[in-house]
Structure 1
Amino acid sequence: MRLKDFIEIMNPDLYQVLKQSVELGCWPDGRRLSEQEREASLQALIAWEFEHLPEEQRTGYMPVSCKSRQAPAQAEDEPASILRFRDT
């Protein structure tokens, strides 16, 4: 089935199932999504959102200006917060 054909038959309920499956990495019955299934589902979600949702509700939406740019300036003697990960 072509993506365009799938998007035409996709409804809000199916959209929610796909979205939750991509978020959790497994189908509602517990089976894990393969990489191909995840990629195809994400493509379908993005395409469906483009047709049915306002821009600010779509996956990956970024406002025109980041809220972090609007944050008050940090004092010079204050260290900047840096997120760091350790290998375990």
Structure 2
Amino acid sequence: MDQNEILKHLTPVIYQRFKTAVELGKWPDGSKLSAKQLETCLEAIVVYEQKYIEETQRTGYVPPKKTPCADKDDEDTLKWK
């Protein structure tokens, strides 16, 4: 299914149900998500969030670090022997 087709059928309520189902690994009735259902839900969540959700609020968002992990001077040069 292409992204436009997904967006055409995905409402905020369905998006939230998919998100909850992925988080819990089961549907509201208690039945477990199959691997295919999980894949479909994840795809729909990503497509919906790309279109309607602010980047900082999207699933899996990690803010950039304010400072690098190491100083540039601390970098080791790789030497092949």
TM range (shorter): 0.7 to 0.9
The one-letter code sitting in structure 1 at the alignment partner of 2:53 is: L
Would you say the 8 A contact 2:26–2:32 is kept in 1?
A: yes
- Alpha-carbon separation, structure 1, partners of 2:64 and 2:8: 30
- Alpha-carbon separation, structure 2, partners of 1:7 and 1:27: 21
Instruction: Say whether residues 1:36 and 2:36 are aligned partners.
Output: yes
Cα RMSD (Å): 1.5
Consecutive aligned runs of 4 or more in structure 1 exceeding 6 Å deviation: none
- Alpha-carbon separation, structure 2, partners of 1:43 and 1:56: 19
User: Structure 2: which 5+ residue stretches go unaligned?
Assistant: 70-81
**CA-to-aligned-CA distance 1:6-65 (integer Å, 9 cap, x gap):** 222211111110000000001111110001111110111011000000000111111011
The one-letter code sitting in structure 2 at the alignment partner of 1:32 is: K
Higher relative contact order (CA 8 A, sep 6+): 2
Would you say the 8 A contact 1:3–1:44 is kept in 2?
A: no
TM-score scaled by length of structure 2? 0.74
User: Structure 1: which 5+ residue stretches go unaligned?
Assistant: 70-88
- Alpha-carbon separation, structure 1, partners of 2:37 and 2:57: 23
- Alpha-carbon separation, structure 2, partners of 1:29 and 1:3: 28
The one-letter code sitting in structure 2 at the alignment partner of 1:58 is: R
